Structure formats: structure tokens, C-alpha cells
Amino acid sequence: MYKNVLQSIENIAIWPVISFVIFFAFFLCLLLWVFTTDKKIIDKMKALPMEDATSENENTNRKQ
């Protein structure tokens, strides 16, 4: 049944191609960003989880 429904849609074959092109373009942009990003930004992002945990601990200690 589903096969018949999909076959009846005109130009259905273009959607897998469009999906692949969007995925590939996103992947290439992400790769480009990774290789061109400054190391300082990556180090700052890497330290963010520790900074958040430290500031939350300080806030809870002040409330007690």
C-alpha cells in the first residue's frame, strides 16, 4: 500500500537527493568551522561545564 502511495507522488525521487545535499552541506560547514575555529574559543567552551558547577557551588554555600 505504501509503495503505491509513494509511487503516485510526482518527482518523489528528488527528495533523497535534496536530503543528502543538505546533510553534506551541513557536514562540510561543521568541518570547516572545526578546523578554522581559534583554539582559545575551544578551550573556553571546554572549561564551561566546570565554571558552571563552581559558580553553583558558591551560590549554594552562600545561601546556607
Is pTM, for the whole model, over 0.75?
A: no
Cα torsion for 25, 30, 34, 40, to the nearest 10°?
130
| End-to-end CA, the chain | 65
Question: How many domains does the chain fold into?
Answer: 1
pLDDT score recorded for residue 50: 83
pLDDT score recorded for residue 37: 92
Indicate the burial class of 64 (C-beta count within 10 angstroms; 0-12, 13-18, 19 or more): exposed
Give residue-wise pLDDT tens across range 2-61.
778 878 888 888 989 999 999 999 999 999 999 999 999 989 988 888 876 666 666 666
Domain of 35, in residue numbers: 2-63
pLDDT score recorded for residue 22: 98
